[in-house]
C-alpha cells in the first residue's frame, strides 16, 4: 500500500552526496534500482536522473522487514544520515561511492510492476519494446543523457542567437497549404466546412514576412511537419532551428551558423575549426557522388573515361560514345581481398543500382582485371592514373556521368562502412554551395526548384534565368557534417518581378501563384529588404553530437518507420460524431 510523501522534503538528489556531506541528514526521493538482501543487512540502490546512491538498512527489525519487501522501480523516500564507507567498501564506479545513507525512515510512495526490461542495465532491448514502454526507456541513463544533451544544446543555441541580436518569434502551426514540396498534413476547419489548414513544412514564408515586418534577425526552434516516408534521420515531425536575417549575404549566414554550431559542439567539449570547408555542388556530386559528402574518408571518385574511348571492352567504349563516362574509386587495402569479398562488393554495387562493376588490382606478376577485354596495358595505366598501389583494389562503372557518380557515391559509403574505413571521433563540416536553381522534371515537362521557389539566383546568372534556366545557380547552401545534411538555406528573392519569373518557370500561372502565395507576393511589394537565412535540423545535430545513428534516440516520443506511435497507438480512428461535425466522410 502506497504511503504519502508527508513532510519528506528532498535534501539531495541521488547523485549529490559526497564525503563532505558525512553526518548530514539526508532525504532521498527516487526509484529503487536494486535491492541486495544479505539477511541482516539490506542495501538499496536509489536512482534518479542525477545518479545512484546506496542506502543501508541494518539493526532495525521493522525497517529491515520493510526494506526486504521493496522491488525494482518502487518509488521510495528515504530519510537517514550520510555515513562514510570503510575504505574497502568504497564503490569507485559511483560518484557517490564514498558514502551511503543509513536509513532511519523508509516510505514506499508507490509500488511498480516488474518492468519489461531492466532500467539500470545497458543490455540492448528491441526498439519495438522500447517504443511501447517509452516512459521506462526514458528512465534509462542512455536516453536520459541524450535528452539532457538536447536541452543543453538548445539552451546554448538560444543564448548564442540572443547574443547575436536575434529575436525569437513564434509562427502559426495552423497555416495555409502550399502544395509544393512534401505532402502536407491537413487539419479540417470546423468553422469553414470543406476547408483545411496545413501544418507547416517549415515557417518559410512567415520568417520572410517577419523580415518584411522589420524584425531584422529572427530565430525560432520550430516544429515542422512533412508527410513523407520515415528514415533513421527523418520523422514526420521534427525540429528546425530556423533563422532569417535582413541584409544577409551568404558569408554572413555562414559566419552566424558556424558560430551556432561551434556553440553546440562546445556542449560535448569539442572545438571545431572555422571557417568550414566549402565545396561546389558540381564537385561534391562528381567526386563524392552526393550533395552531402562524408569527408571523414577518401575513396574519391575519379573519371577515367579518357582511357576507354577506343577500348576493345565494348561496354565502356559504348558508354563513352553515348556521352557517358567511366568512373571509379580506389579501395585501399582491398587488393588482397578474397574472391568472395570482391564478389560481395560487386553485389553491393548492384544493390546501389549498378548494371555491372569492373574491378582491377595489381598482382605479384602484373595486373588483374575482371573484364579481360580491357587488357593489361590499359588496366595498368588506369591503376597508375588512379594512384592504386600494390595492396589496393579499384572498382569501375560506366554510364551517364551523374547517375554513375551517384551510384558510386552509395557504393563508397557502404564499402567504407563494411571495411571499417570511417574514422571515429572526426567531425568533417562543410558548406556545399552553388546548387543549381532548378532541376528538370521530365514527367511534368517543367522546371522544379531544387531548394524552394523563394531561393535567389546568383546575380551573374540572372540574365540566363529565362533563356537557360538549367544553367542558373542558386544562392543556396547546405551545411553538412559527416555525410548528414544538418541544414540548408539561401538568400531569398526579395523583388516581385524575379519571384514572378521563377513561378512562371515552375509552371505556375499568375493566377495559381496569386491563389497560393498572393499574400506573400503582395507583401513583397511593400518595401522588402534583401534577406536570407537557413534552417538547421536540431534532431540531427543532437543525434550526431550524442553519437547516435538515428534521430529517434534524441526524440522523447518518436514514431516508427510506419508512422505509428507505439506507446499511444496513434494514429487511431475517431468518433463518427467528430467526423460529422467536421463534415468529413471516410471511404474505408
Partner RNA sequence: GGGGUCGUAGUUCAGUUGGUUAGAACGCUGCCCUGUCACGGCAGAGGCCGCGGGUUCGAGUCCCGUCGACCCCGCCA
Chain contacts with RNA (rule: CB under 7 A): 34, 36-41, 43, 45, 54, 56, 58-59, 71-72, 85-86, 88-91, 93-94, 97, 100, 114, 116-118, 121, 123-129, 131, 178, 180-183, 201-202, 204, 226, 228-234, 351, 353, 410, 448-453, 550, 552, 560-562, 564, 566
Closest contact distance (angstroms) between CB of 376 and RNA is 35
Closest contact distance (angstroms) between CB of 343 and RNA is 16
Closest contact distance (angstroms) between CB of 76 and RNA is 15
Q: To which residue does cell 563494411 refer?
A: 418
Q: Specify the residue, 197 or 308, whose C-beta has the smaller distance to RNA.
A: 197
Q: Specify the residue, 305 or 558, whose C-beta has the smaller distance to RNA.
A: 558
Q: Specify the residue, 377 or 556, whose C-beta has the smaller distance to RNA.
A: 556
Closest contact distance (angstroms) between CB of 203 and RNA is 8
Q: Specify the residue, 97 or 324, whose C-beta has the smaller distance to RNA.
A: 97
Helix (H) or strand (E) holding 447: strand 446-449
Closest contact distance (angstroms) between CB of 363 and RNA is 32
Please give the Cα distance from 101 to 50 (Å, whole number). Answer: 16
Closest contact distance (angstroms) between CB of 520 and RNA is 12
Task: Choose among 178, 180, 219, 169: nearest CA to 199.
Answer: 178
Please give the Cα distance from 261 to 157 (Å, whole number). Answer: 8
**DSSP line for 21-56:** GTT-EEEEEEEEEEEEE-SSEEEEEEEETTEEEEEE
Q: Specify the residue, 38 or 577, whose C-beta has the smaller distance to RNA.
A: 38
Please give the Cα distance from 319 to 98 (Å, whole number). Answer: 72
Q: Is the dihedral of CA 126, 131, 137, 138 positive or negative?
A: positive
Q: For the range 459-463, what are the long-range contacts, defined as Cβ-Cβ under 8 Å and sequence gap of 24 or more?
A: 461/437, 462/498
Q: Specify the residue, 351 or 512, whose C-beta has the smaller distance to RNA.
A: 351
Task: Choose among 355, 387, 384: nearest CA to 371.
Answer: 355
Q: Specify the residue, 146 or 202, whose C-beta has the smaller distance to RNA.
A: 202
Q: Specify the residue, 77 or 537, whose C-beta has the smaller distance to RNA.
A: 537
Please give the Cα distance from 395 to 384 (Å, whole number). Answer: 14
Q: Specify the residue, 150 or 552, whose C-beta has the smaller distance to RNA.
A: 552
Q: Cell numbers at residue 588, please?
A: 474505408
Closest contact distance (angstroms) between CB of 77 and RNA is 20
Please give the Cα distance from 276 to 295 (Å, whole number). Answer: 12
Closest contact distance (angstroms) between CB of 52 and RNA is 8
Task: Choose among 547, 268, 530: nearest CA to 424.
Answer: 547
Beta strands (DSSP E) in 179-312 are: 186-188, 196-198, 217-225, 237-246, 277-280, 302-303
Closest contact distance (angstroms) between CB of 582 and RNA is 25
Q: Specify the residue, 127 or 298, whose C-beta has the smaller distance to RNA.
A: 127
Task: Choose among 353, 352, 346: nearest CA to 395.
Answer: 346
**DSSP line for 297-322:** S----EE-GGGGTT-S-HHHHHHHHT
Closest contact distance (angstroms) between CB of 232 and RNA is 3
Helix (H) or strand (E) holding 519: helix 510-524
Please give the Cα distance from 578 to 588 (Å, whole number). Answer: 17
Q: Specify the residue, 204 or 246, whose C-beta has the smaller distance to RNA.
A: 204
Closest contact distance (angstroms) between CB of 332 and RNA is 24
Closest contact distance (angstroms) between CB of 315 and RNA is 22
Q: How far is CA 94 from the centre of its chain?
A: 32
Task: Choose among 42, 47, 96, 54: nearest CA to 76.
Answer: 47
Q: Specify the residue, 100 or 267, whose C-beta has the smaller distance to RNA.
A: 100
Q: Cell numbers at residue 99, please?
A: 558514502
Q: Specify the residue, 15 or 259, whose C-beta has the smaller distance to RNA.
A: 15
Eight-state DSSP code of residue 285 = I
Please report, for residues 213, 334, 358, the alpha-carbon distance to residue 344 in angstroms, rounded to integers and kept in the order given: 58, 12, 13
Q: Specify the residue, 249 or 549, whose C-beta has the smaller distance to RNA.
A: 549
Closest contact distance (angstroms) between CB of 303 and RNA is 21
Q: What are phi and psi of 7, to 5 degrees?
A: -95, 5
Task: Determine if residue 476 is left, alpha or beta; phi over 0 gives left, psi from -120 to 50 gives alpha, anything else beta.
Answer: beta
Please give the Cα distance from 334 to 421 (Å, whole number). Answer: 11
Closest contact distance (angstroms) between CB of 88 and RNA is 7
Amino acid at each position: 500500500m502506497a504511503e504519502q510523501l508527508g513532510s519528506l522534503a528532498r535534501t539531495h538528489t541521488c547523485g549529490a552526496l559526497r564525503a563532505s556531506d558525512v553526518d548530514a541528514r539526508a532525504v532521498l526521493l527516487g526509484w529503487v534500482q536494486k535491492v541486495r538482501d544479505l539477511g541482516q543487512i539490506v542495501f538499496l540502490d536509489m536512482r534518479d536522473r542525477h545518479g545512484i546512491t546506496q542506502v543501508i538498512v541494518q539493526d532495525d527489525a521493522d525497517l529491515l522487514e520493510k526494506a526486504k519487501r521493496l522491488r525494482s522501480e518502487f518509488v521510495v523516500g528515504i530519510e537517514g544520515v550520510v555515513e562514510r564507507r570503510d575504505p574497502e567498501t568504497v564503490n569507485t564506479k559511483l560518484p557517490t561511492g564514498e558514502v551511503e545513507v543509513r536509513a532511519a525512515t523508509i516510505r514506499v510512495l508507490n509500488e511498480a510492476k516488474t518492468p519489461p526490461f531492466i532500467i539500470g542495465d545497458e543490455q540492448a532491448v528491441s526498439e519495438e519494446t522500447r517504443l511501447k514502454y517509452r516512459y521506462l526507456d526514458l528512465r534509462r541513463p542512455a536516453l536520459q543523457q541524450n535528452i539532457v544533451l538536447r536541452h543543453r544544446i538548445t539552451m546554448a543555441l538560444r543564448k548564442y542567437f540572443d547574443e547575436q541580436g536575434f529575436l525569437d518569434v513564434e509562427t502559426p502551426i495552423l497555416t495555409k497549404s502550399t502544395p509544393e514540396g512534401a505532402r502536407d498534413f491537413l487539419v479540417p476547419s470546423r468553422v469553414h466546412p470543406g476547408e483545411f489548414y496545413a501544418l507547416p513544412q517549415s515557417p518559410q514564408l512567415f520568417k520572410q514576412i517577419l523580415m518584411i515586418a522589420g524584425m531584422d534577425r529572427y530565430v525560432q526552434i520550430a516544429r515542422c511537419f512533412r508527410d513523407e516516408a520515415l528514415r533513421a534521420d527523418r520523422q514526420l515531425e521534427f525540429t528546425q532551428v530556423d533563422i532569417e536575417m535582413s541584409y544577409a549575404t551568404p558569408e554572413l549566414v555562414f559566419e552566424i551558423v558556424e558560430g551556432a554550431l561551434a556553440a553546440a559542439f562546445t556542449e560535448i567539449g569539442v572545438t571545431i575549426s572555422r571557417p568550414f570547408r566549402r565545396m561546389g555542388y558540381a564537385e561534391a556530386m562528381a567526386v563524392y557522388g552526393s550533395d552531402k559528402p562524408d569527408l571523414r574518408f577518401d575513396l574519391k571518385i575519379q573519371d577515367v573515361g579518357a582511357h576507354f574511348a577506343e577500348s576493345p571492352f565494348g561496354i565502356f567504349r559504348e558508354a563513352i560514345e553515348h556521352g557517358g563516362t567511366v568512373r571509379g574509386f580506389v579501395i585501399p587495402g582491398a587488393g588482397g581481398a578474397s574472391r568472395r569479398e570482391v564478389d560481395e562488393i560487386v553485389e553491393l554495387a548492384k544493390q546501389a543500382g549498378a548494371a555491372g562493376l569492373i574491378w582491377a588490382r595489381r598482382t605479384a606478376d602484373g595486373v588483374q582485371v575482371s573484364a579481360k577485354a580491357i587488357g593489361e596495358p590499359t588496366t595498368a595505366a588506369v591503376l597508375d592514373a588512379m594512384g592504386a598501389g600494390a595492396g589496393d583494389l579499384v572498382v569501375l562503372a560506366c554510364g551517364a556521368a551523374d547517375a554513375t557518380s551517384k551510384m558510386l557515391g552509395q557504393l563508397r559509403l557502404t564499402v567504407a562502412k563494411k571495411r571499417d574505413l570511417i574514422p571515429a571521433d572526426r567531425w568533417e563540416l562543410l558548406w556545399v554551395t552553388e546548387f543549381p536553381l532548378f532541376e528538370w522534371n521530365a514527367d511534368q515537362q517543367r522546371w522544379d526548384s531544387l531548394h524552394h521557389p523563394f531561393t535567389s539566383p546568383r546575380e551573374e546568372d540572372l540574365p540566363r534565368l529565362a533563356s537557360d534556366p538549367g544553367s542558373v545557380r542558386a544562392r543556396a547552401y547546405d551545411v553538412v557534417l559527416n555525410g548528414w545534411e544538418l541544414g540548408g538555406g539561401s538568400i531569398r528573392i526579395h523583388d516581385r518581378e524575379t519571384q514572378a519569373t521563377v513561378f512562371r518557370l515552375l509552371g505556375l500561372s499568375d493566377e495559381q501563384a496569386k491563389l497560393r502565395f498572393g499574400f506573400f507576393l503582395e507583401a513583397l511589394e511593400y518595401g522588402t529588404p534583401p534577406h536570407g537565412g537557413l534552417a538547421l535540423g536540431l534532431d540531427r545535430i543532437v543525434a550526431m553530437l550524442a553519437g547516435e545513428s538515428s534521430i529517434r534516440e534524441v526524440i522523447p516520443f518518436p514514431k516508427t518507420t510506419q508512422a505509428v506511435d507505439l506507446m499511444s497507438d496513434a494514429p487511431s480512428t475517431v468518433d463518427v460524431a467528430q467526423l460529422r461535425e467536421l463534415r468529413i466522410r471516410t471511404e474505408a
